[in-house]
Structure 1
Amino acid sequence: MSTPDVMVGLSGGVDSSVAALLLRDAGVPLAGLFMQNWADDGSGDCRAEDDRRDAVAVAGRLGVPIHFRDFSREYWDGVFAHFIDEYAAGRTPNPDVLCNREIKFKYFLDAAHALGASRIATGHYARIDRAGGRWRLLRAQDTGKDQSYFLHQLGQAQLAATLFPLGDLPKSEVRERARAAGLQTAEKKDSTGICFIGERDFRTFLSRYVPAREGEIRTPDGRVVGRHPGVFYFTLGQREGLQLGGVRGFAAAPWYVVDKRVEDNVLVVDQARDSRWLMSRTTWTAAAHWIAGAPPAPRFEALAQTRYRQTAEPASVEVRDDGSLRVAFVRPQRAVTPGQSLVLYLGEECLGGAVIERCDAPCDPGAAGG
């Protein structure tokens, strides 16, 4: 077996399959690697075995060797433990960001180097270039599939050793190329959610790790309108799962979560989607990570994104003495959520980001702080 120049992370999905196809057709010495990131918990709901078979089939079809590595212990320690701790604290974590930083661009990269490869490639929708003596992470051409939000914790060394072959392609063309090459993943549904939850009910899964307590659902002015199965199961702005049908004395309108009070086990709701209790202009974060190694300036203007499926919004960014950020948006933002990532952009370039700590929404307990 010849030494590969590039190791492709073959996940068993169509995106990584076509990433490998493009590199093979370009004549790049190539091998694949399938990562097992979640140990079987006995439920049979994670699709790891099906994905493994598909990855093997794709490698065979393309004529490239494939390797296997079990990173389930590293995933538990570096991603899942944090996921549980955050939910227990009433926050809403984003495990995809940690998985990229801790597994795909750390342990996978190390494994690729150990196997003789100088670079790795994945099926992420993003682009990398080099300008002004540094590597830059850019949005994908297919803005609807762009995944730079999840990659904002990468640094110069990782970008220098990474290829994103799909960065210039629309998803429709990716599937067309898979069909033309006879890859069995061509029609495979995109994976959604988190592998360790899979197709299971989220509440049932989380209750195995974070014991839930029933409690009251109240309005912002303190009126009790129902009961919840556990504040951990909800996130700010959520409408589904509240099971609040016609509440006496209130309009027949949907309810939305506007606060999670873990300290007294109360879920706070309101009936307006853009309730004032959900709206904020200023957000404070933990210490930020900068892809270039440093922020562009102590204070600067940028576009800021507080959720993956959200349009980046104009904001003023202040880098504080401890490395944390104070981000003031031009327009009010809905449901800025502690535990999620605030990611910064200048045009199509991703600068980096940080975990959201609090905002100035009226229900946020830290709203009065500066």
Structure 2
Amino acid sequence: MERVFVAMSGGVDSSLSALLLKEMGYDVIGLFVSGWEDEFIGCQAKRDLEDVVAVCDSISIPYYAVDLKKEFSNLVFDRFLHSLRSGLTPNPDIACNQHIKFRLLLDKALAMGGQFLATGHYCRLKRSVSGTPLLFKGLDRNKDQSYFLHAITASSLKRVRFPIGALRKEEVRFLAKKYCLPNYNKKDSVGICFVENKKFNEFISRYIPPKQGAILSTEGRPLGEHRGLHFFTIGQRKGLRIGGKGPPWFVVRKDLATNTLWIAQGQDHPWLFANRFLIRDLNWLDEPRDFPFRCCVKIRYRSQEQSCALHLISEEIVEVQLDSPQRAVTPGQSAVFYDGEQCLGGGLIQEVIPAWGT
């Protein structure tokens, strides 16, 4: 009997994953990761662990709690803060999957005698003609999480399983209730795992002190002061506190060298659009054989895929040329490439080349 460890968060997706694998005849063991605790934001780690314990008891499987707080701090949180200080808009969930779940936790599962690590991600695996595992979108397009897994290694795909990848969310809820899982109606977690969205500025201020700077219009007109570039991202509207007549104002550029926040009126202002950008920290799950290479790209999790051409600048840098300009392409976010349903890989947006400057 093959042994599978399941990364369990206390949520319904990973809980049903464990149940389905047990029904398939695997020797299933739960793994709960302690990665972050902070009383300031009322972290739910203890309650999540209680849910894991309740689920494991209800389906009669053992579980282990794995303390990776130090590793999470070093590999995810500290890098998150460094990116903010560098004027970027990072996505720590991607780093958590890359470094914690699909590296350290996978290594732990294999060291404990497991053949696979399973998670509750909405993704699917398919085999190439040669038998190589490839990453595909989850069947539920609204819940597809392949974007968040683009940075894991291609080799790790040989040792992971996604039991609910071919299910829709409503089916997951239905089956969880049918099998009487104690957390079948638990709400999905949203936002950054270590901070509630409504308290983001307050939370970040504990680690990065405010640094006032000028707010300028695209014409160079002074409009006020900001409390810190790290509180803003490209395309942001809220928090500017700029009144007056006319359309609302949006962030269009952050100049770290001068600590200047540039803003423009109107959600379709030309400064908000770009048709080219450079990416670094490339990770290929299925690397193209030749460049230029045509595919589709997502510039953020909830964005629509856009047709593009990839041009290899160096081994570390690829230029993405969009077929049509896109709004709020943001340094620090991930650009993830797709060929139909397949996730090819991706990288971090390093430099944006605005459409209005070409």
Preserved CA contact (<8 Å) 2:41 2:196: no
Q: Give the residue type in structure 2 aligned to 1:65.
A: P
SS in 2 for 1:277: helix
Rounded Cα–Cα distance in structure 1 between residues aligned with 2:116 and 2:196: 30
SS in 1 for 2:270: coil
Preserved CA contact (<8 Å) 1:304 1:312: yes
Q: Give the residue type in structure 1 aligned to 2:231.
A: Y
Q: Which residue of 2 aligns with 1:304?
A: 297
Match of 1:90 among 83, 87, 99: 87
TM-score normalised over the length of structure 2: 0.96
Q: Which residue of 2 aligns with 1:261?
A: 255
Preserved CA contact (<8 Å) 1:228 1:267: yes
Rounded Cα–Cα distance in structure 1 between residues aligned with 2:45 and 2:193: 8
Bigger Cα displacement from structure 2, 349-358 vs 190-199: 190-199
Q: Which residue of 2 aligns with 1:24?
A: 22
Deviation at 1:199, TM superposition (A): 6.0
Deviation at 1:275, TM superposition (A): 1.3
Match of 2:178 among 157, 160, 180: 180
Preserved CA contact (<8 Å) 1:45 1:199: no
Match of 1:189 among 187, 190, 195: 187
SS in 1 for 2:110: helix
Match of 1:239 among 231, 237, 240: 237
- Identify if the C-alpha distance between structure 1 residues 154 and 358 changes in structure 2 by more than 3 Å, giving closer, same or farther: same
- Identify if the C-alpha distance between structure 1 residues 238 and 44 changes in structure 2 by more than 3 Å, giving closer, same or farther: closer
Unaligned runs of 5+ in 2: none
Matching of residue 167 in structure 1 with residue 161 in structure 2 = no
Deviation at 1:244, TM superposition (A): 2.2
Deviation at 1:298, TM superposition (A): 2.2
Q: Which residue of 2 aligns with 1:347?
A: 340
Matching of residue 356 in structure 1 with residue 349 in structure 2 = yes
Rounded Cα–Cα distance in structure 1 between residues aligned with 2:129 and 2:107: 27
Unaligned runs of 5+ in 1: none
Q: Which residue of 2 aligns with 1:47?
A: 44
Deviation at 1:228, TM superposition (A): 1.8
Rounded Cα–Cα distance in structure 2 between residues aligned with 1:323 and 1:83: 21
Rounded Cα–Cα distance in structure 2 between residues aligned with 1:13 and 1:4: 24
Deviation at 1:215, TM superposition (A): 2.4
Q: Which residue of 1 aligns with 2:119?
A: 122
SS in 2 for 1:99: helix
Question: What is the RMSD of the two structures over their aligned residues, measured on CA atoms?
Answer: 1.6
Deviation at 1:299, TM superposition (A): 1.5
SS in 1 for 2:14: helix
TM-score normalised over the length of structure 1: 0.93
Preserved CA contact (<8 Å) 1:47 1:195: no
| Identity across matched positions, percent | 40
Rounded Cα–Cα distance in structure 1 between residues aligned with 2:56 and 2:164: 18
When the two structures are aligned, how many residues end up with a matched partner?
357
Preserved CA contact (<8 Å) 2:297 2:308: yes
- Kindly provide the CA deviation profile for residues 62-113 of structure 1, in whole angstroms up to 9, marking residues without a partner as x: 1110011001111111111110000001100111111101000011101111
Matching of residue 63 in structure 1 with residue 56 in structure 2 = no
